[in-house]
Structure 1
Amino acid sequence: MIIINTTFHVERSIENNFCKWVRDEYVPSALASGILSEPGFSRILIEVQEDCSSFAVSFKTESIEDAVTWHDGHGAALRQSLHTKFGEKALFFSTYMDEQPL
């Protein structure tokens, strides 16, 4: 399984609206693509920048090709929506991970 994780750094002034956007728009839209499954939404406890909160949104998919297809297509549209809504108050980066057995 491949995990695609997007880490978001958001100004505290938009934190509640950002979390609502993730729950109401980002996750449902990502799942509707049919490529991703098993969403996760976590607050990162280490403060990266003063007056900012960090969050991680993760999904699982079958292959790296599926992850890249989603990220570069549907995911890009969602990230553009984020930028349109919040501008530079919300920044992000994505990471692909190969889940390993314990």
Structure 2
Amino acid sequence: MILYNVTVNVEETVVGDWLTWMKEEHIPEVLATGCFVEHKILKLLQEDPEAQGSTYAIQYFAETMHQINHYLNNHAPLLRQKHVDRYLNKCVSFRTLLEVV
């Protein structure tokens, strides 16, 4: 199993809208690609007191690296652009790939 993790710091002014949009639109679109079998949304609890915003980890689980590559090559660019268009400079994210061992 391969974990595609997207860590996102979200400005407080849009957290509510962002969470709703993620749950009702973005994540269902990602799952509709057929590349992932499961997902989770987690919130970072121990943030740096000087940090601004809230940090979330959106985890998508795929059975094979082939599915990850298919997603990254064929679906990710459009879905990422939708996120950027909606939230502009109100979110900062980075992505990691991990293997369940």
TM-score (norm 1): 0.89
1-side partners of 2:44 and 2:72: how far apart?
22
* Equivalent residues in 2 for 1:16-31, closer than 5 Å: 16-31=16-31
Percent of aligned positions with the same letter in both sequences? Answer: 25
1:2 maps to 2:2:
yes
Q: Which residue of 1 aligns with 2:35?
A: 35
Structure 1 residue 53 displacement after superposition: 0.5
Structure 1 residue 74 displacement after superposition: 1.3
2-side partners of 1:77 and 1:21: how far apart?
16
Q: Which residue of 2 aligns with 1:54?
A: 55
Structure 1 residue 46 displacement after superposition: 2.8
> Structure 1 regions of 5+ residues with no counterpart?
none
1-side partners of 2:72 and 2:64: how far apart?
12
TM-score (norm 2): 0.90
Could you say if the C-alpha distance between residues 44 and 72 of structure 1 is closer, same or farther in structure 2, counting changes exceeding 3 Å?
A: farther
Residues matched between the structures, number: 100
Q: Which residue of 2 aligns with 1:71?
A: 72
2-side partners of 1:96 and 1:42: how far apart?
16
User: Cα RMSD (Å) of the superposition?
Assistant: 1.4
Q: Which amino acid aligns with 1:88?
A: N
> Structure 2 regions of 5+ residues with no counterpart?
none
Deviations 1:40-79 (A, max 9, x none): 0111113256331001111111222321221233122111
User: Which moves more between the two structures, 78-87 or 60-69?
Assistant: 60-69
